[in-house]
Amino acid sequence: MDRKLENSNNNEHSPSQKLVQFNKKKFRFSDWFAEKVIKAVAFLSIAVVILIFVFVFREAFPIFRMDVSEAVPTELLVQETYGGETTSAPGTITDSQVEYSNKQQVSGEKPSSTLFSKTWMPVSDNPRYGILPLFLGTMKVTIIALLFAAPVSILAAIYTAMFAKPRIREIIKPVIELLAGFPSVVIGFFALMVLATVFQEIFGYATRLNAFVGGIAMGLAAIPIIYTLTEDALTAVPKTFTEASLGLGASRRQTAFYVVLPAAVPGIFAAIILGIGRIFGETMIALMATGNAAMISMNPFDSVRTLSATIGAEMAEVVFGDTHYSVLFLIGSLLFIFTFALNALAEFYFKNLVIRRYQSKK
């Protein structure tokens, strides 16, 4: 459209005027406008991150100022909505919750003071929101998942990058990256139906769904991340390193473990950190395979309830704006801060380390 306009304009101008135009950059509204619009849209990503910060924290905030007297409106709200609905669709209030909201004033305890207690019992006569068992459960699952996923995927990446023939490598890489395409609900289903039964037969423990099963399943979700990033880090090590080492008579194993691996350490750390972030926030696998019992125990074969699974399991049944609701958002804020910090660490600290290393050696 505007090109046609320009053409017709140009035809009317004399050659000398054209020259002037050529030297002086003409202000074009469409060009200026397009750039502004594109820049504004690009800002959206930043805006979304900020909005997530603001809105997740906003909903969590009331927990810190909610005292007993302010908890009363919750009860009114419950009575208003209760009774009309008969189905158990998400958002409907169950009897136990009504009871619990009524009793909340009786217990006379400030909800925020129970945050660091050892019991997570949000739906009871005397609700307690101790996130300690949830936190411990998450740590337990994360450690199990990492102990499984990190060695396997780093070794697999070393094999792919250092030992495998180019033809085999072209096959291995896409096949392992297939794992990233599995929806987490499918991995959760596999853990629930297959892994849980198989592991119970092998180890003979009591509870079918526990931290171990969940941890292994979440490890599966983290493997493609750690594998891909480690492989990238290994192949990013300059070829001259490998050639110098092999030229001096070192074997492929020695080159891999004493030359390439040390040079790629920051990248591998970044890979592990992003893997931790993935495991930490994984919801569906945790919901389906960990048993969802909030208890404090060090036994890897006990059921656990992770932070994210707690949000996933309880948010649909909670009363909008009530203490339980705020506590779940508080857990969400913790998850968000944690993954944000991990990402920032991987991004700024470890990436810079990689760059500095290679630049100083070139």
Partner 1 sequence: MNRNVKDTIVESVAGISVLLIIFIILSILAITIVGGWPNLNWTFLSEFPKDGMTKGGIFPAIVGTAVMTLIMAVAAVPFGVITAIYLAEYASEKSVFAKTIRFAVKTLAVVPSIIFGLFGLGFFIGFIGKNMDGIFNGGELRWGQPNILWASLTMALLTLPVVIVSVEEAIRTIPKDMREASLALGATKWQTIRKVVIPGSVSGILTGTILAVSRGAGEVAPILFTGAAYFLSDLPHSLSDQFMSLGYHIYIMSTQSSNVDATLPIQFATTLVLLLLTFSLNGIAVILRYRIRKREK
Site for partner 1 in 234-273 (CB under 8 A): 251-254, 257
The stretch near partner 1 (CB under 8 A) out of 63-71, 238-246, 296-304, 330-338 is: 330-338
Residue 156 makes contact with partner 1 by CB under 8 A: yes
Contact call for residue 295 and partner 1 (CB under 8 A): no
Asked if residue 58 binds partner 1 (CB under 8 A), the reply is: yes
> According to the binding rule CB under 8 A, does residue 204 interact with partner 1?
no
Question: Taking the CB of residue 71, how many other CB atoms lie within 10 A of it?
Answer: 18
34 binds partner 1 (CB under 8 A): yes
Is the four-CA dihedral 162, 167, 168, 171 of positive or negative sign? Answer: positive
Q: Which of 327, 291, 297 is nearest to 311 (CA)?
A: 327
Round to whole Å and give the CA distance between 289 and 305: 10
Contacts with partner 1: how many residues (CB under 8 A)? 92
- Exposure pattern of 298-325 as b/e (b: 16+ CB <10 Å)? eebbbbbbbbbbbbbbbbebbbeebbbb
- Does 117 bind partner 1 (CB under 8 A)? Our answer is no
Per-residue DSSP letter, 69: G
With CB under 8 A as the contact rule, the residue among 11, 41, 84, 165 that binds partner 1 is 41
Residue 269 to residue 289: CA distance in whole angstroms: 27
Q: Which of 67, 70, 79, 183 binds partner 1 (CB under 8 A)?
A: 183
**Position 233 contacts partner 1 (CB under 8 A):** no
Using the contact rule CB under 8 A, the part of the chain among 46-54, 70-78, 110-118, 230-238 near partner 1 is 46-54
Write out the two tokens for 310: 């707690």
Nearer to partner 1, 106 or 194 (CB): 194
Asked if 141 and 306 touch (Cβ cutoff 8 Å), the reply is yes
| Smallest distance from partner 1 to CB 126, Å | 26
Binding to partner 1 (CB under 8 A): which residues in 60-79? none
Considering the rule CB under 8 A, would residue 131 count as an interface residue with partner 1? no
Run of H or E including 112 = none
